Amino acid sequence: MTHTRFAFVKANWHADIVGNALKGFIEIIPTQQVDVFDVPGAFELPLVARDLAASRKYAVVVAAALVVDGGIYRHDFVASAVVNGLMRAGLDSDVPVLSVSLTPHHYQETEHHRGIYLSHFIEKGREAARAALEIVHTRARILE
């Protein structure tokens, strides 16, 4: 599996928090196997994830974002569109697309909440890496 490549796409909205998912991811999967791509926000993740998956360069594409509830309906719309788009990108391309796109209902720009999500995204990155390795292994077993 040393030649397996992974794509990691991250939204720049709340980049300091979202970037921690990448930190957790590369704790499990060596950075030399990971190509990193940035997009402006969560809404752009499905398009870039689809393009990366369609390139056939990657065994798995991981997409990370933090979609916060700003007190308007847009939060639910964006969260739904992102998750549905990521799933569709994976199914249409036959390349797994994993989501580390979190949508907390009560996030506030306080040190307390930032601290929670800074550490939470590291763990979510680790979970995504474990899932990526497991899906690669499982799909290889199917082809045996």
Q: Which residues are catalytic?
A: 74
Strands, sheet with 34-39, edge to edge from the N-terminal-most edge strand? 34-39, 6-11, 60-66, 97-102
Q: What radius of gyration do the chain's Cα atoms show?
A: 15
3-state DSSP assignment of residue 8? strand
Q: Give alpha helix (H) positions in 1-144.
A: 15-28, 45-54, 74-93, 111-143
Length of the chain counted residue by residue: 144
